[in-house]
Amino acid sequence: MLAALGSLAAAFWTVLRPRTVLLGAVAFLFFADFLKRRRPKNYPPGPPSLPFVGNFFQLDFEKGHLSLQRFVKKYGNLFSLEFGDLPSVIITGLPLIKEVLVHQDQNFVNRPITPIRERVFRKNGLIMSIGQVWKEQRRFALTTLKNFGLGRKSLEERIQEETHFLIQAIGEENGQPFDPHFKINNAVSNIICSITFGERFDYEDDQFQKLLRLLDEVTYLETSMWCQLYNVFPRIMNFLPGPHQMLFRNWEKLKMFVARVIENHKRGWNPAEARDFIDAYLKEIEKHKGSATSSFHKENLIYSTLDLFFAGTETTSTTLRWALLYMALYPEIQEKVQAEIDRVLGQSQQPSTAARESMPYTNAVIHEVQRMGNIIPMNVPREVTVDTTLGGYHLPKRFVNFDNPIEDPALGTSLVTQWLRICLPMQGTWVRALVWEDPTCRGATKPVCHNY
């Protein structure tokens, strides 16, 4: 029987020839890819995609948010894209984003695990974990950060103290041009460092400056085309040199830094007196010792701490750099902000959350900087967890990216002037209403008026 099968295969092989087999295999791969890419009924529209790579090469990763605007104009506020074989929908515009994040949040609660994130974070930590692990880590982080001052006065005092150091460092430049990038990063990072590591780092600390540069580099590298290619073809890219390999090396160095800080903490650890986030986490590990299902272990301590360090540093410092740039580009707005600061705080008083109430113009400028700066243009992706209907379309399990509605016609595009434009119809008065709450001020039931 075996001999008969063998001679049959040999006969086939002589008839088919290797070239035919190869052609058949390629045709099969194309067909399988076509089947995989078939769009379900009533799926959001999107640009036609190529086999294997999808819409990958239609996106400019250096200017991701601008490439998306092209598609928004053509397909509307909800459209589909294929990143290689990762099916994705992009959602933009305030009403749809609100629908997803507020009304249907349970259907979009998970994070998709991309190959890069899988390799670096292995579903650990705060940002890239899911399910029970995410719930436990998030609950613990929120409570602990609150205990160490987030939302309390003590955090405000830490910020005020750090502001003092930053102003001093800027003063040392004697009015000469300088690059504020890493001074700002250092100052912002010190706030979260003082809560997580229990210490701040001097702006002249070379080791810490190196870490800040690593953090900055990972943020930049992760959005590069090479790293996105890794997400699409991880098996091939694994063997190729390139910026993605540098990304992995940088993450390793950052992990090692956090692991070293944790080891140092263990030496001086007193369970009765938690000095910071790491101490509190070590206590939590002790509490769950022996439980096979607990997510409180050393790995998650490293990743959660790293998440706070990363998210607490890059986001706020990039926003502040945008603020500086906009102040330089819009001197007339800078003047008004300065006038309000002088009027409310004067030259000696520190800024505080209590003063925010009396500084509506500066508050509006900060919100505009956040909107226009658009520092996370595609958000941190979420995933559709169950079949969902959104905007009249059917969304099966898929990646979801939110595009910042920076070009939403309802919001306009020019700094602060659009706030004034919106509020002018209200007899030249300034109406306090957060852009995110109500972009057109229509719902502002309690207008607080300030004349400008």
Binding-site ranges for ligand HEM (CB under 6 A): 126-127, 138, 192, 307-308, 311-312, 315-316, 319, 375-376, 379-380, 382
Residue 120: CB minimum distance to ligand HEM, A: 15
Tokens of 72: 């928004």
Residue 192: CB minimum distance to ligand HEM, A: 5
Distance of CA 351 to the CA centre of its chain: 27
Compare residues 49 and 401 and give the one whose CB is closer to ligand HEM. Answer: 401
DSSP 8-state code for residue 83: E
Compare residues 193 and 433 and give the one whose CB is closer to ligand HEM. Answer: 193
* Gap between the Cα atoms of 424 and 429, Å rounded: 7
Residue 101: CB minimum distance to ligand HEM, A: 7
* Gap between the Cα atoms of 325 and 153, Å rounded: 30
Angle made by CA atoms 267, 258, 251, in degrees to the nearest 5: 155
Mutual angle of helices 181-196 and 153-171, in 10-degree steps: 150
Residue 334: CB minimum distance to ligand HEM, A: 20
Compare residues 257 and 430 and give the one whose CB is closer to ligand HEM. Answer: 257
* Gap between the Cα atoms of 392 and 379, Å rounded: 23
- Specify burial of residue 91 (Cβ count, 10 A radius: 0-12, 13-18, 19+): buried
Residue 393: CB minimum distance to ligand HEM, A: 21
* Gap between the Cα atoms of 351 and 160, Å rounded: 7
* Gap between the Cα atoms of 313 and 183, Å rounded: 12
Compare residues 127 and 433 and give the one whose CB is closer to ligand HEM. Answer: 127
Q: Tell me the C-alpha to C-alpha distance, in Å, between residue 192 and each of 49, 198, 320, 333.
A: 43, 9, 16, 30
Compare residues 188 and 423 and give the one whose CB is closer to ligand HEM. Answer: 188
Q: Are 218 and 247 in contact (CB under 8 A)?
A: yes
Residue 5: CB minimum distance to ligand HEM, A: 56
Residue 368: CB minimum distance to ligand HEM, A: 13
Compare residues 294 and 379 and give the one whose CB is closer to ligand HEM. Answer: 379
Q: Are 280 and 171 in contact (CB under 8 A)?
A: no
Q: Are 399 and 88 in contact (CB under 8 A)?
A: yes
- Closest listed residue to residue 302, CA positions, set 426, 167, 137, 139: 137
Compare residues 223 and 379 and give the one whose CB is closer to ligand HEM. Answer: 379
Compare residues 199 and 342 and give the one whose CB is closer to ligand HEM. Answer: 199
Residue 201: CB minimum distance to ligand HEM, A: 17
